[in-house]
Amino acid sequence: MSGGYRKPRATGMITARVGTRIQGNRVTHFVAIREGWIELHYTGVVDYAARMSALDTVAAAVRDSGIHRILADYTHATLGDAGDSAGRQDYLSKAISAASLEEADVALIGLPPEHARAAELAGVVRNMRVRHFEDAASALAWLLPPGFRQERTST
């Protein structure tokens, strides 16, 4: 694993870059705290193990920052192991037990609706609002209050 999560500083943005090797595939996720929201950006092959690793990083960022608005961007990712029901159950258990995500607002982009279902199920249990969008502009319009600056540096 390279990089890692760093606690927030008094000013500026914090970032974390984590790489995980799963079944020979390189999986990378990037977590950044923006002005009022957290961006989770995936690249590479994303399976449930990768999503669980990212969940740890995002939960820590939410806990340390107090920000509960999350944009999960899968637009540069390839989805793997959709039929892995054991992996899906492990992911659901982990998401449900992540207390810092209670009442979070989560916008998903680039994730086919059938894959978004696990996040939506966890959201019901954790009292989170989870919604799937076609693009970042629509997701951020829903995620952020009207008039809020929509800074986004990843593409």
Cα(116)–Cα(153) distance, integer angstroms? 24
Q: Please check whether the domain covering 15-143 is classified as CATH 3.40.50.720.
A: no
pLDDT in tens, 107-121: 999 988 777 877 787
Cα(124)–Cα(112) distance, integer angstroms? 19
Question: Is residue 70 very low, low, confident or very high in pLDDT (cuts 50, 70, 90)?
Answer: very high
Q: Which amino acid is at 112?
A: P
**Phi then psi dihedrals of residue 139, to 5 deg:** -65, -45
Higher pLDDT, 59 or 89: 59
Tokens of 152: 């986004």
- In the predicted structure, residue 71 carries a pLDDT above the cut 90: yes
Q: Give residue limits of the domains in the chain.
A: 15-143
Q: What is the pLDDT of residue 29?
A: 84
For residue 24, count CB atoms less than 10 angstroms from its CB and return exposed for 0-12, middle for 13-18, buried for 19 or more: exposed
- In the predicted structure, residue 26 carries a pLDDT above the cut 70: no
Name residues whose C-beta falls within 8 Å of residue 131's C-beta, 6 or more positions apart in sequence. Answer: 106, 107, 108, 139, 142
Coil vs helix vs strand at 22: strand
- In the predicted structure, residue 1 carries a pLDDT above the cut 60: no
pLDDT in tens, 29-44: 888 888 889 999 998 8
pLDDT in tens, 4-20: 444 544 444 555 444 43
